[in-house]
Amino acid sequence: MYRYFMPTKVFFGNEVWEKYGDMLCECGKKALIVTGKNSARLSGALDDVLNELNKYKIDSVIFDEIIENPDLTSVEKGRDIFRNEGCDFIIGIGGGSPIDAAKAIGVMASNNLVGNEIYDSSKMKTVCPLVAIPTTSGTGSEVTSSSVISNRSENRKAGYSSELNFPKLAYLLPKYTMSLSPKVTRDTAVDALSHLLEGLYSHRRTPIIEPLIHEGVRLIYDNLITAIENPNDEQAREKLMLASMYGGITIAQTGTTLQHSIGYPLTAEFEISHGLANGIVMKDLMELYYPVIKGELNRLFNALNIEKENFYNWLEMLDLVADIDISEEFLDKRIPEVMKSRNMNNNPFEIKEDSIRKIYLNL
């Protein structure tokens, strides 16, 4: 028995506004636009959205205070603006941070949630329409049911998942990613790669999406270095955005695994990007899982026409390193946190604390 569920309407390509912009009229009369400080403007996405809203006489308010690894405080601020301004739908523009924040603002405003209630999806009964417009090729958040929010006062980064979080509409225009720096291009693509691999690692893996996973990994393997070296390569940008969406579709079915759980404390403690946190443990994670899911991983390498060692050599070329110092204090505090995180339910076998310790100490 297999399950596949993806209720988001997806429009992919640089011309989608002309043909599908009018779908925004189905969402509401006043939008709260949720973005970060710069990327929505820099990428051209905000201008395009305002243009569309104007065309269909839809009102809007801009909330552009979402920072990387969005926090509860700004989500609650967005919730209050949504209510006070009488908005009835939300448009998230940006990387995973603004899109995740937009999702959280939606469920908080629609269900009158406060504080840490955001992590409790049983409290979510309804949600306003949500539109997602990615400007990075990484999280795939535009097609997932999850959102990752940090509670900085508790020094905690954690996700929650609810089917209400699936955006109603997702507009994916690869041209919005042309302004990404080589570093963000690399880190976000490595996040997408993690999602695709985790579709194989997770015990919720399903053959329905295996071809999608193989194709997504191939697109990243073939195009990431090109996009890093030639940021204006339109074809490479398009392929990475496609791969990122495949990664989102993947984790929407399978969830993430220890690969993500182990990265969250690295971001919370050392402020390294989410994608890099995944990347610096990627090889060790694959080695940990390999004996148990050899069949799935070998099928992937066969599809790519490579051996595992070729994949590791390619990872090496990406130069995924971070200057961090893992202390006993870090291990004592963070390993129990990793063990308790919700993604751990998806691992293909029971993970022992000692395995996590070894991976951290290998950094």
Least distance (Å) between residue 127 CB and ligand NAP: 15
- The pair phi, psi for residue 160, each rounded to 5°, is -140, 165
In this structure, the strands spanning 156-161 and 146-151 are antiparallel
Number of residues that bind ligand NAP (CB under 6 A): 32
3-class DSSP assignment, residue 61: strand
Are 170 and 143 a contacting pair, CB within 8 Å?
yes
Token pair belonging to 128:
């306003």
Candidate residues 8, 74, 110, 146; the one interacting with ligand NAP per rule CB under 6 A = 146
Shortest spacing between CB 224 and ligand NAP, in angstroms? 14
Q: Rounded to whole angstroms, how far apart are CA atoms 108 and 122?
A: 12
| 198 touching Fe ion, by CB under 5 A | no
How do the residues of the chain divide into helix, strand and coil, expressed in percent and rounded to 5? 60, 10, 30
* Minimum distance from residue 251 beta carbon to Fe ion (Å): 8
Which 166-195 positions form the footprint of ligand NAP (CB under 6 A)?
Answer: 176-177, 179-180, 184, 188, 191
- Nearer to ligand NAP by Cβ, of 147 and 257: the residue is 147
Token pair, residue 61, equals: 């308010």
Distance CA 265, CA 157 (A): 7
Q: Is 147 in the site for ligand NAP (CB under 6 A)?
A: yes
Running DSSP on this structure, what letter comes out for residue 339? Answer: H
Q: Order of strands, edge to edge, in the sheet holding 9-12?
A: 9-12, 169-172, 130-134, 89-94, 30-34, 59-63
Nearest approach, Cβ of residue 69 and Fe ion (Å): 11
Total residues interacting with Fe ion, rule: CB under 5 A:
1
Q: Which stretch binds Fe ion (CB under 5 A): 106-114, 189-197, 298-306, 332-340?
A: 189-197
CB closer to ligand NAP out of 28 and 96 = 96
Taking the complex as a whole, the smallest distance from the CB of residue 106 to Fe ion amounts, in Å, to: 20
Determine if 191 is a binding residue for Fe ion (CB under 5 A).
yes
Q: Which does 147 bind (CB under 5 to 8 A by kind): ligand NAP, Fe ion, none?
A: ligand NAP
**CA 272, CA 278: separation in Å to the nearest integer?**
10
3-state DSSP call for residue 92? Answer: strand
- For ligand NAP, the binding residues (CB under 6 A) are 36-39, 42-43, 68-69, 94-98, 100, 135-136, 138-139, 141, 144, 146-148, 176-177, 179-180, 184, 188, 191, 274-275
